[in-house]
Amino acid sequence: MYKKIVLNGLTTLLTVLTFMISSSIFCKAISQTMPPTKYTTKSYSKMTNQLNFSDKKDFGDAHRGFIAPLNLEPIKNSQGKVIWDQRQYTFIKEGKFSPITVNPSLWRQAQLQNTSGLYKVVDGVYQVRGQDISVLTIVEGKTGLIVLDTLSSVETAKAAMELYYAHRPKKPVSAIVISHSHADHFGGVKGIIQYAANPKNVQIIVPTNFTKEVFSENVLLGNIMSRRAGYMFGSLLPINKHGFVTAGVGPGLSTGTISFLPPTIEIKDPIQSMEIDGIKFKFLLTLNTEAPSEMHFYLYDFKTLFVAENTGHTMHNLYTLRGAKTRDTSDWVKALDNTIDLFGKEEIKAMATAHSWPTWGKDRVLEHLSKQRDLYKFIHDQTIRLANHGYTADEIAEQIQLPKSLDRYWANRGYYGNLKQNAKAVYNFYLGYFNGNPSDLDPLPQEETGAKTIQYMGGEKNVLKQAKVDFSKGEYRWVAQVLKNVVMTNPSNKEAKDLLARAYEQLGYQAESAVWRNFYLTGAQELRKGVVKNKSKEAHTVNLETLLSMPINDFLDYTSIKLNGPKAEGKTFTFNVNFTDMKTNYSVEVRNSVLNYKPNTVIEKPDATVTLNKVTFYLIVLGRIDFEKAVENGKVFVEGNQDKFEEMVTLFDQFDPWVNIVTP
């Protein structure tokens, strides 16, 4: 039935396209969203033949234990702005065939991720799904609630807790366990802790190095990472069948208030047991995997295994396109293998993850863990094998194919990560970005490459003429590759930008990966409309509250990368900085266009000694408050040359969060 609908839709589409091409409508429409071509719909037919869409086990699991739906009223922040609106996803209906603008496999994943509400995993363990990109899990302890991960934002976390309390006993929160150091798992912590009888007594339990990794990954490159995250999570796209449909790993990312609270307990031993509110936990550290600081744990009382984000119902990222350190695939494989060995000896009723729906039954849990372990091991081992044959990362990505036993397993499909992307990640982890060819050792920047390439190809008009022919043949990858050179050379060439946008659009429609779809469609949108600065739609990896929570050493590391080296050339600054609230002091020195600092050290003859509290110092460096006014208001005391400190502050860059990506 599905194939017939695809073929009928294809016939209708071809008729429409033929008419458009032969009329002036086409000329007017090329800067607008376009329908899929016959080559795109043909790719859908191939996928429906490959995969078993009649397999409904995942849908049964996604609905199992349903208690109540989400409150569909939009969730707003303290300024009254909507940060989550579940109603936007109502166009994704289970049982409805995929639109011709969405890869059928990705549409299936969107339907599954759209199952939302309060669910029972087993007696005593409950989940709220579909309230954010991640899942909130609640364990009923002896005296209160143990919350496993906290969603992305304060507002969605609070809404999830209210849904639980509407249907379960109103016990206070007694403990919070955070599985790993990504913001969508700790950002809602202040929305959870407000439900404690005494927030100061709530244990916040995390894996070792948690705080360090929270700041390490998100802050130093937070500006560009936030911009790229906007592409990755489709934050700038309309939520509809032509735009964003899913994040792959979850329905979408909320844009609420990210919060942070320092942990009270770190799990430091590779295997560690402890009792939390009368419930026995066994922890397994899985460091340097999906997150640098991550852990799995088993709840003896409920015979439930929680595996964080190292496994789930999608292939994950060995390298994430928002930008982060490439993950150690070998450690990831070992973590899954250790999980099988350690917890496979226990009785397992259910396995819950940090995203998506649970899996029930020990046999199915162990099969799932084994299939995902072997997925990442195959990518790792085969990439290295091919690299040793002399293939480059691009060549490996083009030829690597999963065996059917792994490829046809729904949870291994690339809805979030992607096989090509992950093969390149393994190559880069071991061999770096350079492919060994001397021609690629010192290539020209993309603008200069574009200009030379277009010159060699006979100029922009000739390139466009050939690109139109290749577009008509469905060669969208090449069209995108070559037209990038035109746009980088001449961003005012509207015809080139429109055709490039259309190529991105078709690639986005074809993509099984939600992330690739979001990147392509966001690129198309910005080629057509430019960069539309919408602060409410930024995908923040870090916010002011997180910055103000940073330890001084981490903040000074961040400060050092904001120093504009060329502007600082030939200048020297030396300061003693006394932090009144921290009862500590630092020496800060700028020399040779770099900033160095040392704790508990005093420079004998500094330019000035500055005394202030930590938050005031941070806000001055971040450009949020004026240094001179802070002195006048008594927030800062200066002994020595005040002008020198003011001059140094002017040398710190303030980053533009809306840098160009698809244009120079």
Q: Which domains does the chain have, with CATH numbers?
A: 47-376 (3.60.15.30), 551-649 (3.30.1050.10)
- Does the structure show a pLDDT above 90 at 533? no
Q: What's the burial of 555, exposed, middle or buried (CB within 10 Å: 0-12/13-18/19+)?
A: buried
Helix (H) or strand (E) holding 576: strand 573-579
Report the amino acid identity of residue 317.
N
Rounded Cα gap, residues 480 and 498, in angstroms = 11
Rounded Cα gap, residues 525 and 140, in angstroms = 46
- Does the structure show a pLDDT above 50 at 12? no
Summarised one tens digit per residue, pLDDT across range 448-476 is 999 999 999 999 999 999 999 999 999 99
Rounded Cα gap, residues 558 and 621, in angstroms = 10
State the pLDDT at residue 21. 32
- Does the structure show a pLDDT above 80 at 330? yes
Q: Report percent pLDDT > 70 for the chain.
A: 94
Residue that the structure tokens 């030939």 belong to: 570
CA-to-CA dists, residue 374 to 335, 351, 496, 522, angstroms: 12, 18, 43, 33
| Lowest-confidence segment of 12-16, 190-194, 394-398, 562-566 by average pLDDT | 12-16
User: Taking the CA of residue 273 as centre, how many other CA atoms within 13 Å lie in the half-sphere pointing to its CB?
Assistant: 7
Residue that the structure tokens 């080139």 belong to: 496
Under 8 Å CB-to-CB from 356, ≥6 apart: which residues?
Answer: 62, 112, 113, 129, 135, 249, 250, 312, 313, 314
Rounded Cα gap, residues 514 and 108, in angstroms = 12
Confirm if 6 and 45 have CB atoms less than 8 A apart: yes
Sheet holding 117-122, edge to edge: 66-68, 117-122, 125-129, 136-140, 145-148, 173-177, 203-207, 265-267
| Among candidate residues 233, 151, 217, the one with its CA nearest the CA of residue 181 | 217
pLDDT band, residue 321 (cuts 50/70/90)? very high
Confirm if 632 and 599 have CB atoms less than 8 A apart: no
Helix (H) or strand (E) holding 311: none
Better-scored residue on pLDDT, 9 or 391: 391
Predicted structure pTM score: 0.91
| Lowest-confidence segment of 21-30, 255-264, 301-310, 497-506 by average pLDDT | 21-30
State the pLDDT at residue 17. 31
Under 8 Å CB-to-CB from 531, ≥6 apart: which residues?
Answer: 658, 660
- Does the structure show a pLDDT above 70 at 31? no
CA-to-CA dists, residue 322 to 215, 227, 293, angstroms: 16, 8, 18
Summarised one tens digit per residue, pLDDT across range 112-136 is 999 999 999 999 999 999 999 999 9
pLDDT band, residue 549 (cuts 50/70/90)? confident
Quote the tokens at residue 457: 């190809």
Rounded Cα gap, residues 12 and 17, in angstroms = 9
Quote the tokens at residue 215: 């700041």
Report the amino acid identity of residue 513.
S
| Lowest-confidence segment of 511-520, 545-554, 574-583 by average pLDDT | 545-554
Summarised one tens digit per residue, pLDDT across range 50-107 is 999 999 999 999 999 999 999 999 999 999 999 999 999 999 999 999 999 999 999 9
Confirm if 505 and 472 have CB atoms less than 8 A apart: no
Query: Can you tell me the mean pLDDT for 285-304?
Result: 97
| Among candidate residues 340, 290, 341, 335, the one with its CA nearest the CA of residue 315 | 290
Q: In three state form, how does the secondary structure of 457-497 look?
A: CCCHHHHHHHHHHHHHCCCHHHHHHHHHHHHHHCCCCHHHH
Under 8 Å CB-to-CB from 122, ≥6 apart: which residues?
Answer: 302, 303, 304, 349, 350
- Does the structure show a pLDDT above 70 at 637? yes
Question: Average pLDDT over the chain, rounded to whole?
Answer: 92
Kindly state the DSSP code that residue 167 receives in the 8-state scheme: T
Quote the tokens at residue 327: 């993950």
State the pLDDT at residue 220. 81
Confirm if 116 and 251 have CB atoms less than 8 A apart: yes
Rounded Cα gap, residues 352 and 124, in angstroms = 13
Which residues are 128's β-sheet partners? 118, 136
Summarised one tens digit per residue, pLDDT across range 180-235 is 999 999 999 999 999 999 999 999 999 999 999 988 877 788 888 889 999 999 99
